[in-house]
Amino acid sequence: MRRGHRPAAVAVVGLGLSAALAACSSADPAAVAAVGLDDDGYLAVVRMCDEGRTVTYAQFAQEPDGVPSLAWIGRTVEPITFFRIGSDPPDNWVLDVDGGLVSDVTYAFTATADDLSVTGPDFTLADLNALGAGEVITAAGTTEPVEDFLEHACSG
Q: How does the average pLDDT of the chain come out, rounded?
A: 86
Q: Which amino acid is at 30?
A: A
- Is the pLDDT assigned to residue 149 strictly greater than 70? yes
- Is the pLDDT assigned to residue 21 strictly greater than 60? no
Strand, coil or helix: 51: coil
Reported as a single tens digit per residue, the pLDDT across 110-122 is 999 999 999 999 9
DSSP state letter for 55: -
Reported as a single tens digit per residue, the pLDDT across 35-82 is 999 999 999 999 999 999 999 999 999 999 899 999 999 999 999 999
Domain parsing of the chain, residue ranges:
31-155
Which one has a higher pLDDT value, 8 or 38? 38
Query: Contact at 8 Å (CB) between 55 and 46?
Result: yes
The pTM assigned to this predicted structure is 0.81
Quote the distance between the C-alpha of residue 51 and its chain's center. 10
| Rounded Cα–Cα distance for residues 35 and 127 (Å) | 10
